[in-house]
Chain A
Amino acid sequence: AQSVAQPEDQVNVAEGNPLTVKCTYSVSGNPYLFWYVQYPNRGLQFLLKYITGDNLVKGSYGFEAEFNKSQTSFHLKKPSALVSDSALYFCAVRDLGYGGSQGNLIFGKGTKLSVKP
């Protein structure tokens, strides 16, 4: 079965420093991977995705993510954090299996990012 793990409940970063939010996945076959962000009292917003091709994908608000097949990871990164980046971040994988679970979108438990001035 497909799964996603976000090993950190919270990440604390000083403004201006680089940030990394970790995600590892378990899939059969090639993964379709996504990052979403949730600001307080809002729905989830799409940030970026990896489907195929270049292992470094760029997304909204200056975020990028690096796909590493050998380590089954898809870590979210930003070179210089802003206080406004403080939010809840979710990693997700799309189930490409056949039969009953095809199309399912499976989320990690989320990582709270706190950026201090």
Chain B
Amino acid sequence: DAGVIQSPRHEVTEMGQEVTLRCKPISGHDYLFWYRQTMMRGLELLIYFNNNVPIDDSGMPEDRFSAKMPNASFSTLKIQPSEPRDSAVYFCASSPYEARTEAFFGQGTRLTVV
């Protein structure tokens, strides 16, 4: 398996534009997590899914952020409209249902909003 695949790796966009980040989890994994990492706030959980269903989205900063998982092999995180303070590295991770199994992370998407 190629691991968790995120795209794009880097994204530079202007303030006010819509940004869509993509994630392909490892096949067969039941959980999918979206995290955001910044110097100031560290690693924050934004939302996670179990079997394509959002379980906890309390970490989503505001209504400008939305996440979907239309099927077991694909998830998106959308920011509309984007703001400079959204600049961060966004990570996707997936894990099997069994809680004793570790999660696997993608390489991340570095988002810069200018």
Contacts and interface: CB of A to CB of B under 8 A. Distances in A.
Contacts of B105: 36, 43-45
A103 B50 contact: yes
A105 B93 contact: yes
Contact of A103 (B43, B55, B91, B107): B55
B43 A90 contact: yes
B100 A101 contact: no
A28 B108 CA distance: 31
A42 B50 CA distance: 25
Given A34-B102, A105-B33, A43 B56 contact: no
B45 A106 contact: yes
Interface residues of B, number: 24
Contacts of A43: 4, 91, 105-108
A100 B43 contact: no
B102 A107 contact: no
Contacts of B106: 43
A109 B42 contact: yes
Contacts of B56: 100-101, 104
B75 interface: no
Given A90-B43, A94-B99, A103 B31 contact: yes
Contacts of B100: 32, 49, 51, 94
Nearest to B6: A43
Interface in B81-114: 91, 93, 95, 97, 99-100, 102-108
A96 B55 CA distance: 14
Interface string A96-117: 1000111111110110000000
Interface of B: 4, 31, 33, 35, 42-43, 45, 48, 50, 55-56, 91, 93, 95, 97, 99-100, 102-108
14 contacts: A32-B100, A43-B4, A43-B91, A43-B107, A44-B91, A44-B93, A46-B104, A90-B43, A96-B99, A102-B50, A102-B55, A103-B55, A109-B42, A110-B43
Listed from nearest, the 9 A-B pairs whose CB atoms lie closest are: A43-B105, A109-B42, A46-B102, A44-B105, A51-B100, A94-B99, A43-B107, A107-B43, A43-B108
